[in-house]
Structure 1
Amino acid sequence: MNDRLAQELMKLANYDLEVREKLSLEGKLSGGYHPDMEKVHKNNAQRLREMIKEIGFPTISKVGDKASDAAWLIIQHSIGEPDFMKQCYEMMNENRSDINLKNIAYLYDRIQVFQSRPQKYGTQLIPEGIYPVQNKENLNKEREAVHLPPLSSEKMSRILSPENIPEIDAKDEGYTIWRKKVGWV
């Protein structure tokens, strides 16, 4: 196991969360992608790219559970870099026996939502409820397969229909402009 990279991954992820908390307390996280948060995400993604070149994807056997989860957090937050997120999703899938399956599920869903596509596992929420899913009837089976708890009937009733996606996207013009600018759509 690579302890040096494990410690660095956890430090990068913790810094991300610290900046997020600070900006949240200051009321600066609403109204778009804050430049300070974007800078942290870009720097962390760049450093993770370097680590991947050095050791391959930071799987559990290479860096431990916590550091592998930290790598996932860095990827999950690299929202301004769609290609990087997609490449990491592929690497995680290739190493799925050595990755926390929940992390693969969350990343898949996040990528889908940014692309205006229904999610598979129901992990992504929006103010109106749960972002639309591909197959509501099989949702809890899909969740079980990646060790996510089932959604209750109440939560299932909060899942929006895939037909609502154009309406959801239309609510925030700035979000749509940003997604186009960075390459999500």
Structure 2
Amino acid sequence: MDQSLRQKLIGMVEDARRLRAVLAADGSLFQGYNEQLRNLHNTHAKTLADIVDAKGWPGRMLVGEDGAAAAWMIVQQAIGLPRFMRACLEVIEAAASKGDVPRWQVALLTDRICWLEGRPQIYGTQFDWDANGELSPVPIADEASVDARRALSDLIPLIDGIRQRRTEAQQNGESAPPPAEAAARRKDFDEWAKAIGWRS
């Protein structure tokens, strides 16, 4: 195992988590894609891309379970880089087929890309604030069968996933109070997704 690389990946995720907490506390996290956070995510994505070019995907064998989770999180956070995220999904799918990353990582990244592209998600892992001010899954394709798909990806049932996500949001200061003007936020997000290249 490459302990130095493991620590580097974990450190990048911790840096992003600290900044996100600061932005959540002052409310700016909910006012579009914060420039400071975007710059940090893009810097981390470039570093990860260089790592993948040099060593391949940093999975369990190279950086351990927590290091592999950190690498995946860096991809999840790189929402301003469509080509990077799509390319990483292919690499992570290959790593999962060899057992080097857990299947849930493929599921969550797949859903994130679907959401960014404006398509219904597959596994119900992506959330936004609904009209009642609660975090709820964004639209899910064939929702009646979602728990079967989740089980194949080692995810808990959707109802438990919703409860877990709402609890995490409360603990991270992301839901008190929820962002106002949900429709305006969604419109701004849709315009951003088109401008960045996620949607035509």
- The answer to whether the Cα contact below 8 Å between 1:116 and 1:169 also exists between their aligned partners in 2 is no
Partner of 2:174: none
Partner of 2:113: 111
Measure the CA separation in 2 of the matches of 1:132 and 1:170.
18
Deviations 1:51-80 (A, max 9, x none): 101110111111100010001111000000
Measure the CA separation in 1 of the matches of 2:88 and 2:75.
7
Say which SS state the counterpart of residue 149 (structure 1) adopts.
coil
Normalising by structure 1, we get a TM-score of: 0.87
Measure the CA separation in 1 of the matches of 2:52 and 2:115.
25
Q: Which runs of 5+ in 1 are unaligned?
A: 156-167
Question: 1:169, CA displacement in angstroms?
Answer: 8.3
Is 1:152 the counterpart of 2:152? The answer is no
Partner of 2:57: 57
Partner of 1:163: none
Count of matched residue pairs: 172
Measure the CA separation in 1 of the matches of 2:84 and 2:114.
14
Which residues in structure 2 correspond to 1:99-178 (within 5 Å)?
Answer: 99-128=101-130, 129-152=136-159, 172-178=186-192
* Residues 73/93 of structure 1: CA separation in 2 closer, same or farther (3 Å cut): same
RMSD of aligned alpha carbons: 1.8
Measure the CA separation in 1 of the matches of 2:185 and 2:20.
24
Q: Which runs of 4+ in 1 moved over 3 A?
A: 168-171
Question: 1:152, CA displacement in angstroms?
Answer: 3.4
Partner of 2:167: none
- The answer to whether the Cα contact below 8 Å between 1:58 and 1:68 also exists between their aligned partners in 2 is yes
Normalising by structure 2, we get a TM-score of: 0.81
- The answer to whether the Cα contact below 8 Å between 2:32 and 2:185 also exists between their aligned partners in 1 is no
Letter in 2 for 1:73: M
Partner of 2:2: 2
Q: Which runs of 5+ in 2 are unaligned?
A: 131-135, 163-181
Measure the CA separation in 2 of the matches of 1:54 and 1:169.
43
Percent identity, aligned pairs only, is 30
Measure the CA separation in 2 of the matches of 1:28 and 1:171.
13
Say which SS state the counterpart of residue 29 (structure 1) adopts.
helix
- The answer to whether the Cα contact below 8 Å between 1:114 and 1:184 also exists between their aligned partners in 2 is yes
Which residues in structure 2 correspond to 1:28-43 (within 5 Å)?
Answer: 28-43=28-43
Is 1:77 the counterpart of 2:98? The answer is no
Measure the CA separation in 2 of the matches of 1:57 and 1:44.
15
Partner of 2:173: none
Is 1:12 the counterpart of 2:26? The answer is no
- The answer to whether the Cα contact below 8 Å between 1:140 and 1:151 also exists between their aligned partners in 2 is yes
Measure the CA separation in 2 of the matches of 1:136 and 1:175.
24
Which residues in structure 2 correspond to 1:18-29 (within 5 Å)?
Answer: 18-29=18-29
Measure the CA separation in 1 of the matches of 2:19 and 2:81.
19
